[in-house]
Amino acid sequence: MIPMWATELSFEVRPGQKFDARAWKYWKPVLLLLNEVAKKEKLKINWVRVHSHFGHKGDVPHAMGWWDHEQKAMFLCHFDKETMLHEVGHALSSGYHGDPWAKQASRLYLKYLTGKELREAMIQLAHYLSGRRVYKTIYGEKAPKAPEIQSLWKGLDSKK
């Protein structure tokens, strides 16, 4: 059920109920990077839950990701690196989306993302007051308005 590469990470990967095996290819780059980030940031992660929602209509009825401080576990719905690093930011800070989180998230984006992925992640910070502050400190200008977030699963064809 679980591909070999996913059994060789420093944390356990737990696919969600009714996980569609065709989703592994979307998760692979994100989970391999998370493995590297956990090592470099000395973050202990017990397990990571990943979702699949092929053919989902409308909005997925839960968050794109979250971090459980007690279980040291990550839940990921959105299979992008930005969401994963956003959650690592929570793991390395406290106080939800306050300044400590925004500082960690922006530091992680700058360290582990490049090009378009980095630009888009930095703009997503503008969803939060703390993120807009951090953006202004880094770039010396106001953050552009962050686009509304659409689920990556919306309209995603499992055959592609």
- Give residues 71-100 in contact with Zn ion (rule: CB under 5 A): 77
Q: Is the CB of 96 or the CB of 139 nearer to Zn ion?
A: 96
Contact characters 48-67, Zn ion, x per CB under 5 A: ---x----------------
**Separation CA 74–CA 60 (nearest Å):** 18
Q: Is the CB of 8 or the CB of 99 nearer to Zn ion?
A: 99
- The least CB distance from residue 144 to Zn ion, in Å, is 20
**Separation CA 160–CA 150 (nearest Å):** 19
# residues contacting Zn ion (CB under 5 A): 2
Contact characters 14-53, Zn ion, x per CB under 5 A: -------------------------------------x--
Q: Is the CB of 6 or the CB of 125 nearer to Zn ion?
A: 125
Give Cα separations from 81 to 58, 137, 142 (angstroms).
23, 23, 24
Q: Is 53 exposed, middle or buried (0-12, 13-18, 19+ CB in 10 A)?
A: buried
**SS3 of residue 63 by DSSP:** coil
* Residue pair 91/69 in contact by the 8 Å Cβ criterion: yes
Binding site for Zn ion (CB under 5 A): 51, 77
